Amino acid sequence: MKTDIRSMTLEELTAALKALGEPAFRGKQVFTWLHRGVRSFDEMSDISKPLREKLAEAYRADGLSVARKQMSQADGTVKYLWELHDGNCIETVLMQYRHGNTVCISSQVGCRMGCAFCASTLGGKVRDLTPGEMLEQVLFTQLDSGLSVSNIVLMGIGEPMDNLDNVLRFLELVNHPLGLNIGMRHISLSTCGVLPGIRRLADMELQLTLSVSLHAPDGETRSRIMPVDRAYGVDELFEACHDYFKKTGRRISFEYAMIDGVNDAGWQADLIVKKLRGMPGHVNLIPLNDVAESPLKPSRRVRQFQRRLEEQGVTATVRRSLGGDIDASCGQLRRKAMEQEREEREK
Ligand code: SAH
């Protein structure tokens, strides 16, 4: 098995090249090429042929390939289904906003969190993504689309806190001045509420934006739709969020998918207000995306719920839904591709 070279930090690359008898600057050269998106060592024109051959024997630099690509006619959102070197598939979504282009990347192949409304988790988790595979989603989306990416959200398939070591290394890579150089303030990480991860991030005091998928402020409802709540209860979650704010000074964004008759009652808005007191939270109301496999239906009370929060001083926005015509949400494209493959096989 060859080593995934795009997962290596500059320091590691430099050390590895030194061990091959190369001068210190060689690490920088190779790192720069890799982060520009070359797919083979032969493209590294200022590296000698013998060294390129040596590298190709030990390392893999090929990256992701496009398995499928869909573009929304309505808003220019592009969705990529990438094939990884082992045949697994993941999704990346590119969204064009006024404030810049944002990519939504995956952190795992599948997910083991089991949220009742989410398509990404239906088949469980297959494996973690490497730091290089996360980087490549940003890199090759940029190269393929010709659009430069200014913001990254870790809101695709997978639970970033369930793969935190790799995610942290990815952040270091994507942040590097010789690489894509995307600043922490332009990166959001979303979690369903894995507390050890939130606490670890709080202690690191990174300047990224933390998003918490709340979806219900009361344990009874939340544990019904999000199994993670049975391991880390919602009151503990709010406590960790308050602590996160105290340590980092960063406002947390709470994701809230509005589900008919489940989490859209007035008292639930009131409870959110109460639990956020003392912390400048922001609630992002998302009209539930209909997932065919799920009995949960979109709420009709989104505006009312928003008003109720705002009247009590909690800022709440209703997320503009992009890419609705191309399954650009929550693991739906990967799901569809897997189903089609199965149908093909069964024919
Ligand atoms: N595992 C992380 C990262 C995924 S982010 C997390 O849970 O935060 C994807 C976001 O989309 C999460 O907020 C998730 O709860 C939400 N989501 C999943 N399925 C959805 C659906 N059918 N409709 C609306 N939002 C959904």
Query: What integer pLDDT is reported at residue 291 of this predicted model?
Result: 79
Q: To test ligand 1's pocket by mutation, which of 155, 212, 294 has the most ligand atoms within 8 angstroms of CB? A: 155
Query: What integer pLDDT is reported at residue 231 of this predicted model?
Result: 98
CA–CA separation, 156 vs 346, rounded Å? 29
Of 85-94, 118-127, 332-341, which gets the smallest average pLDDT? Answer: 332-341
Rounded alpha-carbon distances, angstroms, from residue 118 to 184, 273, 335? 27, 25, 11
- pLDDT tens-digit profile of 19-73? 999 999 999 999 999 999 999 999 999 999 999 999 999 999 999 999 999 998 8
Confidence class for position 326, pLDDT limits 50, 70, 90: low
Q: To test ligand 1's pocket by mutation, which of 109, 191, 192 has the most ligand atoms within 8 angstroms of CB? A: 192
Query: What integer pLDDT is reported at residue 344 of this predicted model?
Result: 63
| Residue 91 among the catalytic residues | yes
Considering just the CA atoms, what is the radius of gyration of the chain in Å? 21
- Mean pLDDT, the chain, as a whole number? 93
- pLDDT tens-digit profile of 129-149? 999 999 999 999 999 999 999
| Residue 236 among the catalytic residues | no
CA–CA separation, 96 vs 183, rounded Å? 18
Q: Whose CA is nearest to atom 11 of ligand 1?
A: 330
- 280 phi/psi in degrees, rounded to 5: -80, 80
Q: To test ligand 1's pocket by mutation, which of 103, 115, 232 has the most ligand atoms within 8 angstroms of CB? A: 115
Query: What integer pLDDT is reported at residue 209 of this predicted model?
Result: 96
Query: What integer pLDDT is reported at residue 99 of this predicted model?
Result: 86
By the 8 A CB rule, do 190 and 143 touch?
A: no
Distance between Cα 105 and ligand 1 center (Å): 13
**By percentage, how much of the chain surpasses pLDDT 70?**
92
Residues with CB under 6 A from ligand 1: 113, 115, 117-118, 155, 159, 190-192, 213, 255, 257, 286, 288-289, 291, 330
Confidence class for position 331, pLDDT limits 50, 70, 90: low
Distance between Cα 74 and ligand 1 center (Å): 22
Query: What integer pLDDT is reported at residue 342 of this predicted model?
Result: 66
Residue corresponding to tokens 């990256």: 63
Beta-bridge partner residues of 279: none
Query: What integer pLDDT is reported at residue 345 of this predicted model?
Result: 65
22, 89, 91, 136: which is the annotated catalytic residue? Answer: 91
Beta-bridge partner residues of 283: 254, 316
Query: What integer pLDDT is reported at residue 290 of this predicted model?
Result: 83
Query: What integer pLDDT is reported at residue 76 of this predicted model?
Result: 87
Query: What integer pLDDT is reported at residue 294 of this predicted model?
Result: 83
User: What's the N-to-C CA distance of the chain in angstroms?
Assistant: 34
Query: What integer pLDDT is reported at residue 128 of this predicted model?
Result: 98
Query: What integer pLDDT is reported at residue 340 of this predicted model?
Result: 64
pLDDT at 328 over 60: no
